[in-house]
Amino acid sequence: MVHEPNPARAHGEGGLVSEISGWGGHPRIEARETRDEDLERASREGVLFRGLGRSYGDASLPARSGAHVVSTSRADRLISFDAVTGVLRAEAGFSLAELNRIFLPRGFAPPVVPGTQYVTLGGMVACDVHGKNHHAEGTFGRHVRGLRMRVPDGRVLEISATREPELFRATQGGMGLTGAILEVEVALRRIPSPWLRVETRAFADIDALVSGLREAGRHSPYTLAWSDTTARGRALGRGILITGDWAEPGAAPARAPVFRAPFELPFDLPSGLIAPWSIRLFNSAYYRLYQRARSGIAHPRAFFHPLDVIGRWNRAYGRRGFAQYQCVVPAAADAQIVRRLFEILGRMDGASPVPVVKDFGAEASGLLSFPLPGVTIALDLPMRGAATQALVDRLNDEVAANGGRIYLAKDSLSRPEHFRSMERRLPAWNETRRKWDPDARLRSALSVRLLGDEP
């Protein structure tokens, strides 16, 4: 089915300059954000696209204060779906939440999902998102069959692994800097039911937790671990291993899961409420709650997107916001790298209430895609000014020295010299970007900070 643009919405709205930010609330910038359901028309200006604003740092912010950015959230039409092959085509602003609501009860699931469902298909490609099944299914880009894009010279192209393959690879994880994604074609997977069978198990320290995570990945399609960043001594990095798989119909509820609108935090809580002392209390209670092994059937949102049960949960960090930090290190070469990162967190008061540890499989084909074989750690760090910057610098020293890298979709504090030293594929990506956009018309606050673009 094909929908035509609604003339009443085709010219966008707003256009007034206002303050916007990524999900972490840092940095904040003045920008002229417009919404347009006709992305082909909106992309003629060569302006940066922004989805639902769920990248944490500055990836979806314009290159300079007052500049224009287009929200894709109104371009959310489902264009086609083949129930035999599971191949779906939709506009770039079609959200994962809508995909879940429509297709899970019909026996199809997205092949890869990030930690929130409030993201768009275009954003999932631009960040080449990964999920709890990366060790088995790779990144989202592995399952993308094709893209419709406005490239910086003004043409609209259909690209894929065989049509303009370098541009296709550079766009996966390219943070929206290689062109404007208009439509996405992706293969969904069949599932036996929309519910999940989930098990949890506690581990006494980070070494045992990482070992348990790797072992679980041999037989579970979905794995991750929560780890206590405030534990010290012999309990350093203790945590909870969580595994899951789609439940068979006989074990799952007969009814379809209901996706209710979440309770929403109505305002920013006082900055400083989420601090090392409160995180220590929360982490200790959470670890004790799950010390005994558990198993059961879970709602897909509770398993894949647990933080989505509270709308605008980022307001809990207050006006100062927080920095998300996610790195991956090739831990197979040195199993102690992960322990050293946790020791740095301990020495520098790097408490995080929802730290996630995950093992990754093979490196993706995207030229700047984040994952590589190893262990990834994701942290929410309350913004403490220079102390948070110093912590990120020290973590990046260790990550860079050991062949790791950072996730651009979450970054806001890394320095360009760290990024360059981590990213051996950057020259190839720069070459492709220059080929399609020699004047760097498409820029963002992130590209100014890390790639040296002019504001």
Q: What is the pLDDT of residues 198-243, one digit of tens each?
A: 999 999 999 999 999 999 999 999 999 999 999 999 999 999 999 9
CA 95 to chain centre: 14
Question: Mean pLDDT score of the chain, rounded to an integer?
Answer: 94
**Confidence category of residue 335, pLDDT binned at 50, 70, 90:** confident
Q: Cα separation of 171 and 317, whole Å?
A: 32
Residue length of the chain: 455
Q: Is 452 left (phi over 0), alpha (psi -120 to 50) or beta?
A: left
pLDDT higher than 70, residue 384: yes
Which pLDDT score is estimated for 261? 85
pLDDT higher than 60, residue 447: yes
Average pLDDT over residues 35-44: 95
**Confidence category of residue 112, pLDDT binned at 50, 70, 90:** very high
Nearest CA to 87 among 145, 130, 141, 131?
145
Which pLDDT score is estimated for 6? 40
Instruction: Give the phi and the psi of residue 347 in degrees, each rounded to 5.
Output: -70, -30
Helical axes 336-347 vs 206-216, angle rounded to 10°: 140
Q: In this structure, what is the dihedral angle of CA atoms 428, 411, 120, 97, given to the nearest 10 degrees?
A: 140
Q: Is 114 left (phi over 0), alpha (psi -120 to 50) or beta?
A: beta
pLDDT higher than 70, residue 404: yes
- Strands across the sheet with 156-159, in order? 78-81, 87-91, 180-187, 144-150, 156-159
Average pLDDT over residues 431-453: 97
pLDDT higher than 80, residue 333: no
Cβ contact 217:137 at 8 Å: no
Alpha carbon distances (Å) from 97 to 105, 247, 306: 13, 20, 13
H/E element, 452: none
385 token code pair: 């000014």
Please give, one letter per residue, the 3-state secondary structure of 138-170: CCHHHHEEEEEEECCCCCEEEECCCCCHHHHHH
Q: Where are the alpha helices (DSSP H) in 92-154?
A: 96-103, 121-126, 134-137
**Confidence category of residue 7, pLDDT binned at 50, 70, 90:** very low
Cβ contact 333:404 at 8 Å: no
**Confidence category of residue 246, pLDDT binned at 50, 70, 90:** very high
Average pLDDT over residues 380-405: 97
> What residue type is 281 in one-letter code?
L
Which pLDDT score is estimated for 3? 39
Cβ contact 273:115 at 8 Å: no
121 token code pair: 């298909």
306-329 tens-digit pLDDT: 999 999 999 999 999 999 999 999
Other CB atoms within a 10 A radius of the CB of residue 202 amount to: 20
pLDDT higher than 80, residue 1: no
**Confidence category of residue 121, pLDDT binned at 50, 70, 90:** very high
